[in-house]
Structure formats: C-alpha cells, structure tokens
Structure 1
Amino acid sequence: MKKYFKKSIISAVSLACLFGAVSCKKILDLQPHDATFTSAYFTDGEDANTAIAGAYALLRSTLLNNYSYYVFGDIPAGEFSPNTAYDDANANVALGQFTGLNVGPGIWNWQSNYQLIQQINLIINKVPGIDISKFTNQDDKLQITGEAYFLRAYIYFYMSRVWGDVPLKLAPDLDISTAVNIPRSPAATVLAQCLADLKIAEADLKYGYTDVSQTAVRANKGSAMALQAHIKEWMGDYAGCDTATNAVITQGGYSLLDSADYSKIFIGKSAEGIFEINIDYSQNEGLALNGGGYIPTLEAPFLAKKTYLEWPLNTSYFNRLYTDTNDIRIRKFFYQPTSSAGQTIKYSNITYADGSAQNDPRLSNNIIIFRLADIMLLRAEALNHLGRDAEAVTLLNQIRTRANTVPYQGAGSALATAILEERLRELFYEGQSYYDLVRTKQLTNYNQSFSSAQFLNGSPKGGWLWPVDPNMFKDDFTLTQTPYWQGKL
C-alpha cells in the first residue's frame, strides 16, 4: 500500500475541490508531501472540514469506480441478467464467475479503499491536536472526528463483506520512506475494530442536522447506529442489532415517505434517508453519463438516445418476488419489467447539461446506503431470531402497507422468509441484496448459478467472497489470496 500514499492526500483534496465541497485556496500552497506535510496542512477547522470533505469524495469515487457498489451488492444476487453484448464481465459475475471473462483487476483491486483509509487515518490522527479555538465550537470538532470514525468503520465493513480478511491499517503513513505492508487480518478482528470505531462515533455525533443541506449526506449518530446494526446482524448478534435498530427508529427522527413519493427517496436527502452519497447536478455533483460514465439499468425513454441496456431486469427473479400485482413498487421501481429489456428506474432523475440537444445527460440520484425501511426490516429479522415474532410482523407490515400489499400473517421460519423477500423487494438495486442472501444463507435458493460447493453455506472459505487482484502481490509479499480463489487465477 505504501506506493499509493503520496497520491492519496492529493486525490482527496482534489476531489473535494471538484465537488465544490470546500474552499480550496490553501491547496495551491501545499508543501511537498513528506512527513512535514500534515503538520503544515492540519492547522484549523477549515483544514479539518476540507479533509473530511475529501474523505467523502474519495468514498464516492470508490463506490462508483466500475459501479462496484452495485456490482458487489446486487449483481451476484441475480437481480439482473447483464447483456453479454455490452457487459460480459458482469454477465459472468451474475453467474458467480468472479474470475470469468473480462472480470479482472478493476473490480478485484482494493487500493482505492486504502487511499480513503489513509485520508481517514490522517483526520483521526491530526484533528484532535488542532486547538479548539480554531473551530467554531467543540461540537464542530467532535462532528468531524465522529464522521471519520464512522467512515473508517463503514469502509472496513464494506471491504470485509467483499473480501473477508483484509489488512487492518489504523494509523496514517506520515512518511512514505517508513511505510510498511501488513498482512490480512481476520474478518472477526476487522469487525471488532469497526464496532470500536462506532462507539467513538456514537459518542461524538448527534441525531439530526442543524444544516438541512447536509441531511443524510454527512454522517450523524443515526448513521453510526444504522451501521452498528448491520454489523451486529452480520455477526449474528441479534440482541445487539435489536438495540441499535430500535435507537435509530425511536430516536433518529426519521420517517417513511408516502408511497406516492418513492422517487424522492432516491433523489436523496429525504426524511427516510439515514446515510447516502451525494450525487446532485444542481450542486455540481451530478454523475456525467457520457465520456465513460453510465447508468446500466436505463435506456430510452428515460435516457434519451440510448438504445441498449447493459443490465436488463432478470425476469425470473422479478416474477418470483413481485407476485402481488397491487404492489406499487412494480411501477415505481420498474419499466416493462416482464419484457426482455425491463428497466429499473429507481435512479432515473436525469438532467441534460446541453438542454434540448440531450447529448450530455447528468444523473442526480444519491447512492442510498442506509434508509429507514432497511433498518425496520433489519430489526424485524433480528426480532424473528429472538422469538419476538409479533413485533417483527408489525414492522414488516408497515413496509408492506406502504407498498399496497396484503399484510402478512405468520411466524417462525415462514416469517423469516417473508422478511428476507420483503428486503429483496424493497431494497432492490440498493447494494444490499447479495449480502442479505449471504447473511441468511439463502444465496443458492435465489441465484441457482452459485453452486453449493462455491457458496459453502456462507463459510469464509467459500467463493461468495471475492478474489484479490494478483497484480498487488508484486509490491506486497505479505498478501495472500482469498482461500477459495487460490490457484484459480
């Protein structure tokens, strides 16, 4: 990882400038990037805010790179049937072939994650030493450190669900000449560190926002508790998940939007949003869909002049889940879903920078990481495990009622299936479904392309985890390949 240190800080502050998050005057006068750099840069509250904005920008870049947030979280679940003529790589991923044709280093490589971690570690290392007089107040300083601990917990949890064991780096490389590579740490150790970071974030952050423009796109206490809930559920700590989700639901100030406003959830910053990545053309943060950017689930009439679809809806998956024709999500989430070119339209808020010419489309839909419906269903899952089925059904039916579907009545394992399938319906194409299927050990029941021998019932030795880019082994002799993929690439 050491060869990437020099460019990590530059990338972060440059992205912060690009996205208009902060004033970047001081960046023009940065000293050479050696051990004295951080002492010169982290001097006041403005520097700290610039640094945290850079961290968010790096997170956005990481999740959008190769569309990896959705490639990891949705494609292997079987939601889509990627068209081999336009995206043969993800056609293979949908079949569980993580080393298939044209699936390669771009998606296997975790270096951008460590550029983000380097930036976060710098903030955690340097911001506490800035005198409080350099901030607006103590809460402003705590907000920044709390966000940094949240972001570190999030990115390590994200990586651990993708690769399992990952190198756990908790201090910044302040001098490239002394940077060292470290081996992969066990996933259990990584997750324990995530929870430790979230304890600090929980103490530093508050619920709500004083600046409504930051709603959901900057982490608060609700974001930290939502992440804690997901980690607890992933680890099988259902009582811990119940406690964390209950805090989000009862103290966070969030509310479900009316079904008529479903589209507003995905534009972002809604009352339902808990944590999101900002993508807003009006703030110079739209996602350009030409020159290499794309939205693979759309074509005309939602994306003018586009006549092909990289990721058409998997009709078998759709037909299995959306059996109630009264389900309002069918028309809110999809366009012609039973056709061979069914479109998923959750993210279809398109603006054309060139007006009526319509040659320069820009997407303004946030990446939804956590929202209230997710947390309610996650709590329902935990309650079912704890034998509190009546409470679980109440939560489940709040989501079903909004979707205009028949309230559920049931218990035990049948209820567990009902909750899982409600998550698969409600959170379709939100980077959640694959992890839900792995966590509940139901992957092979919904995506039959995964063999039992590959999935290994969710074992850490299974091929549901991703391989590591072999190119990284050239510079890091401590690195080992993910167990299932050893000798396979």
Structure 2
Amino acid sequence: MKKYIPILALSALVFCSCGDFLDVQPEGKPTTTTYFVNDGQAIDAIDGLYAPIHQEKGFGRELFWEQGAACDIVWAKTRGFNSLATLNYNGDESPILGGYDLFYQNMARSNWIIKQLLAKEKVTTLTVVEHRSLGEAYFMRGMAHFWIAYRYGTKDLGVPFVRYEDFEGDYDNSIPPQQASVIDNYKYIIEDMDKAISYLPKFEEYTDEDKGRPHKAAAVAYKAKVYAYWAMWDETQWNNVISMVNSLESDYGRELAPTFDEVFSSDFKDFWNKEYIWSIPGNGGSTGGGVEFIGVILEDKGWGVYNGWGQIKPSYDIYEEMRKDGAGNDRLVRSILEYNQEFQFFGEKRKFYSDTNLDVGFQINKYMDPFKHKDADTQGYVNTNGNWPTGRVNFPLIRFAEMLLFRAEAYLMTNQADKAKEDLNRIRKRSNLEELTGTVTMADLYHERRCELAFEYTDHLFDLKRWHRSSNAEIKNLAAQELNAHPRIRKYTDRSNPESEFTIEPYADYLKKGTYADHMLVFPYPSEQITKSNGKLKQNAGYN
C-alpha cells in the first residue's frame, strides 16, 4: 500500500543536542543511531523536546497572537494575519500554522524516544536517568497532544494521533489516523500522563540542575486541564478535575506562594516555591535560557536602554476588569504598567509612558522584574544579546493558582458554591483583595480567572470558547460578550508625557471583527495538511 509521509512524522529522526536543557540554542544534530547507549545520550534526546517549545513559534511569541480575538491584549503593531483577531480563521496564518507543526513534531520526537526506551526496557533495566527520560517523553507527548486536541478537536471529530509503540517493528510513517472524537484524544493524553507519573520523580527529588523538568505533580496538573476541557462534552468530568487538584495538595504539597510578586521574581530563591508546577525557567545572562516573551512585551527599543520589541500590550478592558478590585490593588499594579506608574528599569526609577508603535497606553508588568536591576544585562538578569531578550524569570505554564481556579469552576458546575468561594478567596487573599461574601457565581469565576492569569499561556481565548458552550447561562453570556467585543485602549494627547490626558477609544487595528459562531470553537486545519493527507484528514465543520 502506498504511504504518504507528512511533515508530522519526519522530525522524529533528528534531535538537537543541548548541554543544558535551559539553553535553547542547539549545539549539533546527532543521528538517531547514537542514542540510548548511555545516560548523556538519553538526556540529549529529551532536551531536544524542550528546545523547540522555547523558541519564537512556540511559547516565545507566536502562540500568543491569537489572543487578539479576546479583549485582554492588543498587538501594538500592525500584523499581517488580522484574521486571528477578527475570527476569520483560514488555518494558514503563520502563528497557528507554526504551532501546529511544532506540536506534531514534538509528538513525533516523543513517540520515537518512547518506542526506543520501551524496547530497551524489555531487555535490560533502565538506568535512573533513562527511567526518568521515558517519563519525560510520555509527558511531552501528552502535553503536545493536548495543545493540538483542544484547539482542533470536537466531540464529533478528533485530531490525528498515533503511538509508535503500538506498531510491531518500526512505525511505518503512514499518516496518523484522525480520531473519531476528541474524547478519544483526551483518553490517550490521560494515559500518557498516567505513564509519566509512573516514571517521573517528584519535584523534590530533582537536583538543582534538573529543576524545571516535568515531574509527577506537573503530569497531575495536565490531567486536571484535560478533564476541564473534556467537561465541555461530558460534565461528569468536573469530578475528575476536583480529584486531580485535591491530589496536587494532599499528595504533592502544592500551595499558593506567599505573595503574587514571588511568582514572577528574578531571584533564584523564589523560583521553586510551592505554587510552581511547570514553567520555562530563564536564567538570564549570555546563555539565552528562557523565552523571548519578556522582551517582546517591553517598550519598543526600551526607552533607549534595552531592545524591547513593543508587541502584545494590555487593553483598557483588562485594566478596567482589574480595577473592579480597587484602584492600585496589588494584582493590578504587578500585572499592568499604566501611564505615570513608577517602576525600576536598569536601576533607575522611571514613570511609565509609551511613545512608540500603535496607541495603547499600557504595558505588561508581570515579567519586568529582571529589568529592574542596575546593569541588568551585565549582571546576568537579562540576556546580553538584546536580539534574543530573555531574562531571569520562571515563566509559568502551569501554576497552582490556575489549578485552584479550575477546581473552583468544577465546584460551581457541581453545585458546591461554598467550596468554590474558599478557593477563590484563597487567591484573592494572597493579593490583599477583599474576600468574596455571599454565594459566588460563575461571574466571580470569570473575573478571578481573567485577572489572576492575565498575559499567561493559560489560553484566555479558549476559556471564552469553552465557556460559550457551557450549560451555565451566566458564563455563556459573559463569554459571548467578550468574544463579540472589540478591545479598547487609552489614547494620550502627548504620548511622551506620563501625566498626559487621554481618551478611551477602540484599538485602531483590526476594527472589523466578525461575529463569533459555534464552529469557531476550534481552528481550521492548515490547507497543506488537508492536501498532504490525500483525503484522510477531514476539515473541521464550518470551514471551507
């Protein structure tokens, strides 16, 4: 039978060798025949899974552009793929196309590692490092699969997926079969995370040099997220969300950090607090570890001090939502820089203003801690290479606050509002906000999740999309309002004056936003994948 070999599988055959898994710059491309002879080769194979997701088309920048279709961020620079912000998806926009390729390549790499280590495990005992590496491969396959599944899969049509270890002999490089339902994909992801839990160490068992790798609690947290998305199609899954978050507390000791600031600190002693679950840790300095996102959001040219890119800015809408908790509250001040707000930049006290790019009036403040230090570049807090503006910050992908928010949502969806209030108030109390009283509702959950997790890779846009399917009329209505709104900004009369007057206006770019429709829950598949599949990959309903 003729075989069609897609992009999805080819990358399994080459890995990037990294001396340090925080160092995202590849040092070479060894052939697969040299792997799994010793621990160093197993480490190199696994580190090749981390490097791509740190890069620009992953968590560095590209995956965040699609958030322009919600109302929390604006792009601050005119881009060539406004369809992402106007809901006129075609599937070939470079950011989502790049992410699609990235995560399927990561699945293919993980598949190959799993198959090789399982084969070795059948004939000999794996070393401690190999045992851990197998767990990391299961974790990364499940993580990559999840990112594709919920963004492209529905109850009526799943996404392509295959496990190499299910084949006798070598995988035949045929196109991965499209699962009948995304629920089938979610079952595979849960199985992978369960496998990861059985092979991975607990976080506390890692040495300092390996902290930042996946661990048991990180896999449990991903199971919680999978169940939350699965609950769109089967509300009984909310009970599993509750169980997973309970386990994170009772079995793995996860808890909120004492302060909101500590989560985004540039001090190494704060990195591994109890709120940490999984992140991309950046070490600053000349090695370039971490993600460029913290430089992407910085003022363009960094007021002449450091090379920021001036992209992805807060909207007035998210600022307004945060101000509901009071002007100048801890969470607002730490999350958003507004005109005339004082902050430290390279050891100098400044008042924020922005005189470059499109009018916005705000900047994300969550990841600015590395830039506060005097001589931040030469002292190792930010990358000495301003063209790769990484810095010393533990960039969160999952933290315990998000898990509490998922559990609170699950409690609300299972008629346990008192327990939901306890979880929401734990988060509010940590930021010195007034605690909620009376019966909490999904409107309270909407506010807390939106404000607590703003500008993080927790996917606010897809929160709105899954809420738009909810059986709860209140959250469905709130989601519809935001999905169909156009973000606003502050427009200043004198942009170089921190005390300038302003008006509140619609963001000047992508003004003609479409009306949200149910089929927009998921993206359309890239046209090249439809073509390469020779009819085996079915396009999502509602897209040509």
| TM-score, normalising length: structure 2 | 0.74
State whether structure 2 residue 469 is matched by structure 1 residue 407.
Answer: no
- 1:285-300 aligned within 5 A: 285-286=288-289, 295-296=296-297, 298-299=299-300
1:294-320 residue CA offsets vs partner (Å, 9 max, x unmatched): 514544658835587332321023213
Please give the secondary structure, in 1, of the residue aligned with 2:282. coil
Q: What residue is the counterpart of 2:317 in the other structure? A: 316
Q: 1:352 aligns with which of 377, 396, 405?
A: 377
State whether structure 2 residue 230 is matched by structure 1 residue 168.
Answer: no
CA contact (8 A) 1:205 1:220 kept: yes
Q: What residue is the counterpart of 1:389 in the other structure? A: 417
Q: 1:395 to 1:238 in 2, by over 3 A?
A: same
CA contact (8 A) 2:321 2:451 kept: no
Q: What residue is the counterpart of 1:53 in the other structure? A: 47
- 1:80-95 aligned within 5 A: 80-83=73-76, 85-89=77-81, 91-95=82-86
Please give the secondary structure, in 1, of the residue aligned with 2:205. coil
CA contact (8 A) 2:54 2:291 kept: no
Q: 1:481 to 1:14 in 2, by over 3 A?
A: farther
Q: CA deviation at 1:323?
A: 1.3
- Percent identical among aligned pairs is 17
CA contact (8 A) 2:279 2:395 kept: yes
Distance 1:390 1:231 in 2: 24
Please give the secondary structure, in 2, of the residue aligned with 1:143. helix
State whether structure 2 residue 331 is matched by structure 1 residue 342.
Answer: no
State whether structure 2 residue 8 is matched by structure 1 residue 9.
Answer: no
The letter of the residue matching 1:67 is: R
The letter of the residue matching 2:520 is: G
Q: 1:62 to 1:209 in 2, by over 3 A?
A: farther
- 1:447-462 aligned within 5 A: 447-449=483-485, 454-456=516-518, 462=519
Q: 1:182 to 1:128 in 2, by over 3 A?
A: closer
The letter of the residue matching 1:481 is: Q
The letter of the residue matching 2:523 is: W
Q: 2:145 aligns with which of 153, 156, 169?
A: 156
Q: CA deviation at 1:215?
A: 6.7
Q: What residue is the counterpart of 1:222 in the other structure? A: 217
Distance 2:386 2:288 in 1: 18
Q: 1:45 to 1:152 in 2, by over 3 A?
A: same
Distance 1:225 1:177 in 2: 29
The letter of the residue matching 1:329 is: R
- 1:11-410 aligned within 5 A: 12-14=15-17, 20=23, 30=31, 37-38=32-33, 40-61=34-55, 64=58, 67-72=61-66, 74-83=67-76, 85-89=77-81, 91-99=82-90, 104-109=93-98, 110-130=100-120, 136-137=127-128, 140-164=129-153, 165-171=158-164, 178-185=172-179, 186-213=181-208, 217-236=212-231, 237-259=237-259, 260-264=261-265, 268-282=271-285, 284-286=287-289, 295-296=296-297, 298-299=299-300, 304=305, 309-324=310-325, 325-336=327-338, 340-348=360-368, 349-350=370-371, 351-352=376-377, 360=387, 362-364=389-391, 365-410=393-438
Structure 1's unaligned 5+ residue stretches are 31-36, 457-461
Q: CA deviation at 1:75?
A: 3.1
Please give the secondary structure, in 2, of the residue aligned with 1:13. coil
Distance 1:307 1:51 in 2: 33
Task: Note the aligned Cα RMSD (angstroms).
Answer: 3.7
Tell me which stretches of 4 or more aligned residues in structure 1 moved more than 6 Å: 21-25, 172-177, 353-358, 450-453
State whether structure 2 residue 481 is matched by structure 1 residue 445.
Answer: yes
1:196-245 residue CA offsets vs partner (Å, 9 max, x unmatched): 11222222234323334357621111001101111111112111110001
The letter of the residue matching 2:377 is: Y
The letter of the residue matching 1:345 is: N
Q: 1:209 to 1:56 in 2, by over 3 A?
A: farther
1:138-162 residue CA offsets vs partner (Å, 9 max, x unmatched): xx44322222212111111111122
Q: 1:359 to 1:20 in 2, by over 3 A?
A: closer
CA contact (8 A) 1:222 1:252 kept: yes
Distance 1:471 1:190 in 2: 22
1:76-124 residue CA offsets vs partner (Å, 9 max, x unmatched): 33211223x43353x5423323349xx7244225222222111101111
CA contact (8 A) 2:411 2:420 kept: yes
Q: CA deviation at 1:396?
A: 0.8
The letter of the residue matching 1:160 is: A
Q: CA deviation at 1:256?
A: 1.9
Q: 1:201 to 1:472 in 2, by over 3 A?
A: same
Q: 2:448 aligns with which of 387, 407, 422?
A: 422
Greater helix percent: which structure? Answer: 1
Please give the secondary structure, in 2, of the residue aligned with 1:480. coil
CA contact (8 A) 1:354 1:360 kept: no
Q: CA deviation at 1:61?
A: 3.4
Q: CA deviation at 1:266?
A: 10
1:271-300 residue CA offsets vs partner (Å, 9 max, x unmatched): 32101123333482435869xx95145446
Q: CA deviation at 1:400?
A: 0.3
Please give the secondary structure, in 2, of the residue aligned with 1:264. coil
Q: CA deviation at 1:66?
A: 7.3
